[in-house]
Chains A and B, each alone.
Chain A
Amino acid sequence: MKDVQRPRCARKTPFDSFAFKRPHGRTLASGTALAGALGLLLIPAASQAAWEPTKSVEFVVPAGTGGGADQMARMIQGIIQKNNLMGQPIVVINKSGGAGAEGFLDVKSSNRNPHKIIITLSNLFTTPLATGVPFSWKDMTPVAMLALDNFVLWVNSEAPQKSPKEFVEAAKEGGANRFKMGGTGSKQEDQIITAAIEQSAGVTFTYVPYKGGGDVAAQLVGNHINASVNNPIEAVSQWRAGALRPLCVFDKERIPLKEPVVDNKSWNSIPTCKESGLDVEYTMLRGIFMGPGVTPDQVAYYVDLFKKVRETEEWKDFMAKGAFNVSFKTGDEFKTWLTAAETQHKTLMDKAGFTKQ
């Protein structure tokens, strides 16, 4: 990144000396001159400014390319580059093996490495429970909650059901396993919500796992399944084209976006599932974690960075398009949320029999 006007100062840390040794063995003096010109290196100076990355930062995505987490990570990468929010490049790396276990294990084992961050999806909680691979959020350092992804109950617009109540009744009348619920992956967020609906309404669905949210939405439009719990961004275009109908949103409150999406209906006009008698609440964490053993200084740097990302127009636009819940949490507040979310997942998965014995 050519970034000339960058007189950001840093206290001399062990990493600074490392940075000066790296570029092709230049002497300190010429190195400093070049650093001034290119702005690639940090100029040590007496200042109270905190830690900064001294080499490129690895941004791990514990999911494949093209999915929701990957999109968000690459969006963030683009925002950071475009707005020069960081003096070093940030590189997105997908480590999707074993439902994301590969990525989490990588970060878990990156002790005291401040140049590696990871974006999470629900597999932070579900993968260790479903596969038995040993990791938990407590093995990493929580940085920030960026947003919460919403889930909406969708049916084909040709289906007669207009409310969650009618949907549950139809599923009951159809008999056990007659209604097919499509979702992304197995024993992950979509199936957990399905299980939660089953437990709360006393119905049973046949859950059919697909590879991605786009596939699920298209399968619902093609009437191969009866319902889905797609994220807003995955299904909005089909809603606007009149092919799908939203029944309720699984967040605690309605989505606050009041701009009309289609026929004077906005995201806000979709009732919550709870208010329409289906007592299920679920949102998915889009959060950032670092490896264990990093210093508070380093965490503070990333918290600050993501605050800046959140303030950009591009990010706000992205949040509105995807109808995200834009909560932002850090520190103890974030940890409290994580503890509660972990318990919620454990309870739901135990009840549904998804936990590996």
Chain B
Amino acid sequence: MPEREGNLEALGSLIQGFGVLADPMNIAYMFIGITLGVLIGVLPGLGGANGVAILLPLTFSMSPTSAIIMLSCIYWGALFGGAITSVLFNIPGEPWSVATTFDGHPMAQKGHAGEALTAAFTSSFFGAFVAVLLITFLAPVIAGFALRFGPAEFFAVQLLTFCSFVGMGSESPFKVLCAMMLGFALAAVGLDSVTGELRMTFGSVELLRGFDFLIAVIGLFGIGEILLTMEEGLAFKGKAAKINAKVVWETWKSLPRYWVTAIRGSIVGCWMGITPGGATPASFMSYGLAKRFSKNRQNFGNGEMEGVVAPETAAHAAGTSALLPMLTLGIPGSPTAAVLLGGLLIWGLQPGPLLFIEQKEFVWGLIASMYLGNIAGLIVVLTTVPVFASILRIPFSIIAPVIVVICAVGAYTVHNAFLDIVMMLVFGVVGYVFKKLSYPLAPLVLALVLGDMAESSFRQAMLVSQGDLAIFWSNPLVGSIVTLALVMLFWPVISALLRKRQSRQDGGTQVIPVK
């Protein structure tokens, strides 16, 4: 393990890192990267991983430092950009912005698109900033933490994500269960990663790749929303949005109120990024927690700003801190990190415990670019808020076909397959029917994105323990996460019991429920 670096030394190295950035070419690459990233983030389907992979070979003639600055800035840009279409059209540009649609889009429908976008971008920035501070000062200490995660621990975290998201809600539990089971069933199609055999493909070549989460999301949310809007009168609801530059300042004034949510989101995000769980589960978990513990929980789902802050801080914190296990251990914390990892190897850099010692200029240049890149990203996206918000003023009859085309292009780019467009349309109808019958979409999406991972972690854990469930309480780390998850799941029952006891004690010392 590398020696622990003192904070002072970290600061010194960071200043050197900023020195690397002072090269005007690097600054230029940074802005190019951010702009490209925002575009990639806006287009659903063309995710950060694909975008970086496509541009990777172009960077071979650059120095590794410039190259990673540009590519990581694409990544920051994509993290920011994903929120734009989520808020405006209910189409998540990136998987991690699915949870942003839950409250961001209702806000836009109420005419608060500008506020929703500002809140989303600012909280993204906040989450990223916390994660970068963490990387700067605690990298060597925290990297070791990821090593304590075996299959059982991974499953525990995934279980916690499910439970923090599902154990509550106003929908009928039966409908939640139905939606979730459908999600699990879809996630099971394709290759079974544990036995290496095909499942539920019925001999079809097209089904070999299974149901991609992105295609389902584009259909369920994007196309479903268009169908609903068509039924309700061919007009966007949010077209009365105030559009002026002041909206940014006004929103900023109200944001400090949500500091608890923002900090909780950042912690969840950093934790999920480092372990590595990924940005998408982090955003769901953070949203679930916020909904559970917020004073405004009744308003969640109807355009509550807190419901935008929670997933965005977590997603960006996770996306940023995912680079830490990649750099120090060579484990990619997200699909995009996996592609960047490939890039490092190609440039001849060996990610691992020694990278921080042997490639100081590179590592600290990268970290410095995380600071500057996120600031640059925030400036780029905030200045465009009025522009994006004004898109809602374009008549529906013009913008709807454009959205459908963008959705179709997005669905196609995921795997370069035409059948995916058909699947997207089918998912669109499913999304519409779900909305009409008031079945919740979120459990379906969550099961689809996490079902695969949770299944393989569970089965890996069972292989390791030879089928003994006690492995989930075999050490304090996994035991406490699993217990916390189960408490979350049964929280409605537990809190009801506590309330009963409280009323029976009637007038006695109040029982404060412990979480």
Contacts and interface: CB of A to CB of B under 8 A. Distances in A.
Do the two shown chains form a genuine complex with each other?
A: yes
A162 B60 CA distance: 40
Interface of B: 1-2, 49-50, 53, 56-61, 146-151, 190-198, 201, 205, 208-210, 325, 329-332, 335, 338-339, 341-342, 345-346, 348, 350-355, 415-416, 456, 460, 463-464, 466
B338 to A, nearest CB: 3
Give 5 closest A-B pairs by Cβ, nearest first. A237-B352, A97-B209, A66-B338, A98-B208, A186-B196
A290 B329 CA distance: 36
A238 B49 contact: no
A180 B139 CA distance: 30
9 contacts: A74-B57, A81-B58, A95-B415, A208-B464, A214-B330, A236-B352, A238-B330, A241-B354, A318-B348
A241 B353 contact: yes
Given A102-B205, A224-B150, A130 B332 contact: no
Nearest to A222: B147
Contacts of B346: 71, 74-75, 78, 318
Contact of A96 (B57, B209, B330): B209
Given A92-B53, A219-B150, A131 B339 contact: no
Nearest to B338: A66
A206 B466 contact: yes
Interface in A213-255: 214-215, 217-219, 221-222, 224-225, 233-234, 236-238, 240-241, 243
Nearest to B345: A71
A95 to B, nearest CB: 7
B53 A74 contact: yes
A354 B195 CA distance: 9
Contacts of B350: 236-237, 240, 321
B353 A208 contact: no
Contact of A66 (B197, B339, B415): B339
Contact of A105 (B49, B205, B456): B205
B463 A208 contact: yes
A314 interface: yes
Contacts of B416: 93, 95
A97 B49 CA distance: 17
Interface in A164-215: 177, 180, 185-188, 191, 206-212, 214-215
A185 B196 contact: yes
B329 to A, nearest CB: 5
B348 A210 contact: no
B149 to A, nearest CB: 7
Contacts of A300: none
A37 interface: no
Given A102-B208, A222-B150, A81 B57 contact: yes
Nearest to A123: B196
A356 interface: yes
A311 interface: no
B500 to A, nearest CB: 43
B25 to A, nearest CB: 18
A113 interface: no
B230 to A, nearest CB: 33
Nearest to A243: B353
A137 B65 CA distance: 40
Contact of B339 (A65, A130, A207, A215): A65
Contacts of A92: 53, 57
A280 B338 CA distance: 31
Given A96-B209, A188-B196, A317 B348 contact: yes
A212 B60 contact: no
A189 B375 CA distance: 45
A344 to B, nearest CB: 18
A317 B339 CA distance: 20
A70 B50 CA distance: 12
A127 to B, nearest CB: 9
Contacts of B53: 65, 70, 74, 92, 94
Contacts of B210: 97
Given A130-B196, A131-B198, 8 more contacts: A65-B50, A66-B339, A78-B58, A186-B196, A206-B466, A208-B464, A209-B193, A233-B345
Contacts of A96: 209
B463 A206 contact: yes
A93 B416 CA distance: 8
A356 B210 CA distance: 20
A217 B330 contact: yes
A22 interface: no
A77 interface: yes
A99 B2 CA distance: 37
A149 B50 CA distance: 25
Given A188-B196, A222-B150, A212 B338 contact: yes
Interface in A74-97: 74-75, 77-79, 81-82, 92-97
Contact of A82 (B60, B150, B330, B331): B60
B329 A221 contact: yes
B208 A97 contact: yes
A119 interface: no
A40 B162 CA distance: 53
A356 B351 contact: no
Contacts of B209: 95-98, 102
Contacts of A102: 205, 208-209
Contacts of A354: 196
A79 B60 contact: yes
Contacts of B355: 237
Contact of A314 (B56, B60, B151, B338): B60
B222 to A, nearest CB: 23
Contact of B329 (A71, A208, A218): A218
Contact of A78 (B56, B150, B332, B456): B56
Contacts of A285: none
B61 A212 contact: no
A222 B198 contact: no
Contact of A222 (B58, B148, B456): B148
Count chain B CB atoms within 10 A of each CB in A82, A177, A224 and give the residue with the most.
Answer: A224
Among B191, B194, B355, chain A packs the most CB atoms within 10 A around the CB of B191
A322 B344 CA distance: 13
A66 B342 CA distance: 5
A225 B464 CA distance: 8
